[in-house]
Amino acid sequence: MTITPAQIDIWRTSAGETPNLEFKEARNQYDTTKLRRYCVAIANEGGGYLVLGVADKPPRPVVGSAAFPNTQDLAEKLFSWLGFRVEVEAVDHPQGRVVVCSIPGRPKGTAYHHEGAYLMRSGEELVPMSEDQLRKIFAEGGPNWLEVPALRDVSAQDVVQLLDTQAFFDLLRLPYPTDQKGVLARLQAERLIEPSPAGFCILRIGAVLLAKNLKDFADVSRKAARVIVYAGESKLKTSSDITGERGYAVGFTGLMRYVMGKLPQNEVIEDALRKEVKLVPEVVVRELLANALIHQDFEIGGASPVVEVFSNRVEISNPGEPVVPVDRFIDGYLSRNERLADLMRRFGICEEKSSGIDRVVEAAELMQLPAPEFLTSHRRTIVVIYGPRSFREMNGSDRVRACYQHCVLQYVLRKQMTNQTLRERFGLAEGSSNTVSQIITATIEQGLVKNDPNAPESRRYARYIPAWA
C-alpha cells in the first residue's frame, strides 16, 4: 500500500489518536524497542498505523523525521524481531519526511507479545492485556460458553421437567402449545435446546434462563445469583447469605422481590405524612441487577453475580471487566452476551437499547440521591448505589461524580448542563450558584467535563458537555 501526503493530512484531522493510529514526533531518531512494543500493541488491537514525523497533539503539524533512513532494512529487522511483517514506508510530505509503519492485525485466536508482555494501548501508555482479554482472544473461533450443551441426550419429558416451559411461554406472552411437540419445537427454534442422537441437548443458555433448579445443571449451577445482607456498613457481620436456584428469566421476579424485601427502610415526611421508603428505588435495583446478569463474563469459573446489601448502600457486581469503559456507561452500549440480552429483552426483563444506566442515573437525580459509582476490580464489575444523603453530607468526590453523570445525562438527552440544571439536580437554592460553580470547576480540572464551545462567551450563560464529546 502506498501512503500519500493527502492520506497523512486526513489522519492529522482525526478527533484523536485511536487504538489503530499513533503519532510520534521522532524528529531525529526513534527507539527500536519502543517501535517493537507499539507494533505489538497495535497488532493486538486489530492493526493500524504508527506515524513518525507528526506531532501527537492537535493540530498535529508535520515536523519531519530523520529516523530509519533505510525503511526496507527496518521492515526486515521488524519481521525477524516480531515474527510478523510490518510494511515501512517513507512519505515525502510537503512539510517534511514522514515514516509510516503499516501494522497488520493479529490472526484470530492469537495474541502477539514482546519479551513475554502481551501489550495493548491505554491512553498514552502501553500496558499488558488483562487475563480476561487474553482468554477471550485465545478462545476465538471456539464455541461461546452459553452455546455449549449443559446436559446431553435427555428425553423430551426430561426437557419439560427440567425447564420451566410454562413460564417461558408466559414471558413471551404466547399461548402454551397443546402438545409437548409444540413446546419442544419452540425451544428448539429459540436455540435453547437442540436435537441429539439419543434425544435432546439442553444448551447452557436454556439452563441459565429457564432452569427450575440450577443445581440440576452441574456446570451452570455456579452462575446462580447470590444475595448477601450485612448488619451495618461493613462486611464484619453477615445477617443472611442465600444463592438463587431458578434460571435468570423464570426467577427474576422472585429474586427482585427478595432483594427489595431485604433493603433497609427509611422514614421520610411527604405531604405532612410520615412514610416508609426503601433505601434504594426498585427501578434502580431492577436495571442494575438485570445488567449484572446479562453482561457477566460466563467464561470466568467459580464466580456469579452478587448483590450485597448494607445499611447505607447496595453493591451489585458481576464477573468480568466491562466491555465499555465505566465512564461511558451512561452513553455507551455493547452487549457481552448478545443472544442472552435479546431474550431477556423479549421476556420484558431488560431493554436492549442502552437506556438502563440512563434510567438509574435519572432516578438518582430525581430522588436527589448520591450519584451511583461504577467500579472495576480484578475480573469484576461493581456498581454501588447509595442511600439518601444530604448535599452537606456528600464529599468532594461524590459531588464531582454527580456533576459528571449529570453532564453526560444531559448530553444524551441532547441538552447541556448549566449551573442551574446542576443546582436543581442537587436540590439547591439559587443562592448556591457559587458552590455549584466550584463543583463544575473541580470536575473540569479532573478532565471530566469541558465548556461547550458553541455556548455564548458570557459566564452567566456557560454550558458544559462531557470532555469526550
In a domain, 98, yes or no: yes
- Are both 356 and 324 inside the same structural domain? yes
In a domain, 186, yes or no: yes
Ranges 133-142, 284-293, 304-313: which has the least confidence: 133-142
What is the dihedral angle through the alpha carbons of 232, 235, 236, 242, rounded to the nearest 10 degrees? 90
- Are both 249 and 352 inside the same structural domain? yes
Give the mean model confidence (pLDDT) for residues 159-184.
96
- Are both 105 and 193 inside the same structural domain? no
Q: Can you give the pLDDT at residue 321?
A: 84
In a domain, 458, yes or no: yes
Rounded distance between C-alpha atoms, residue 29 and residue 69, angstroms: 10
> If you search the block for the grid coordinates 517534511, which residue do you land on?
96
Encode pLDDT of 49-79 as tens digits: 999 999 988 889 999 999 999 999 999 999 9
In a domain, 139, yes or no: no
In a domain, 136, yes or no: no
3-state SS of 367-380?
CCCCCCEEEEECCE
Q: Can you give the pLDDT at residue 469?
A: 81
pTM of the predicted model, to two decimals? 0.73
- Contact yes or no for 364/357 (Cβ under 8 A): no
- Are both 203 and 294 inside the same structural domain? no
Q: In 10 A of CB 302, how many CB atoms?
A: 7
- Are both 248 and 206 inside the same structural domain? no
CATH number, domain of 120, equals: 3.30.950.30
Judged against a pLDDT cut of 80, whether residue 17 lies above it is answered with no
Give the mean model confidence (pLDDT) for residues 279-291.
91
- Are both 116 and 9 inside the same structural domain? yes
- Are both 215 and 269 inside the same structural domain? no
CATH number, domain of 439, equals: 1.10.10
The domain containing residue 204 runs over which residues? 145-222
- Are both 360 and 259 inside the same structural domain? yes
Domain boundary among 198, 222, 246: 222
- Contact yes or no for 86/1 (Cβ under 8 A): no
Q: Which of the two residues, 247 and 302, has the higher pLDDT score?
A: 247
3-state SS of the chain?
CCCCHHHHHHHHCCCCCECCEEEECCCCCCCHHHHHHHHHHHHHCCCEEEEECECCCCCCCECCCCCCCCHHHHHHHHHHHHCCCCEEEEEEECCEEEEEEEECCCCCCCCCCECCECEEEECCEEEECCHHHHHHHHCCCCCCHHHCEEEEEECHHHHHHHECHHHHHHHCCCCCCCCHHHHHHHHHHCCCEEEECCEEEEEHHHHHHHECCHHHCCCCHHHCCEEEEECCCCCCCEEEEEECCCCHHHHHHHHHHHHHHHCCEEEEEECCEEEEEECCCHHHHHHHHHHHHHCCCCCCCCCCCEEEECCCEEEEEEECCCCCCHHHCCCCCCCCCHHHHHHHHHCCCCCCCCCHHHHHHHHHHHCCCCCCEEEEECCEEEEEEECCCCHHHCCHHHHHHHHHHHHHHHHHCCCCECHHHHHHHHCCCHHHHHHHHHHHHHHHHCCCEEECCCCCCCHHHCCEEECCC
Number of domains observed in the structure of the chain: 4
In a domain, 52, yes or no: yes
In a domain, 135, yes or no: no
Q: In 10 A of CB 232, how many CB atoms?
A: 11
- Are both 233 and 382 inside the same structural domain? yes
Encode pLDDT of 341-400 as tens digits: 999 999 998 765 556 788 899 988 888 889 999 998 888 999 999 999 899 999 999 999
Domain boundary among 337, 353, 386: 386
- Are both 115 and 152 inside the same structural domain? no
Report residue 409 CA to chain centroid gap: 17
Encode pLDDT of 41-52 as tens digits: 999 988 999 999
- Are both 359 and 404 inside the same structural domain? no
Domain boundary among 336, 360, 386: 386
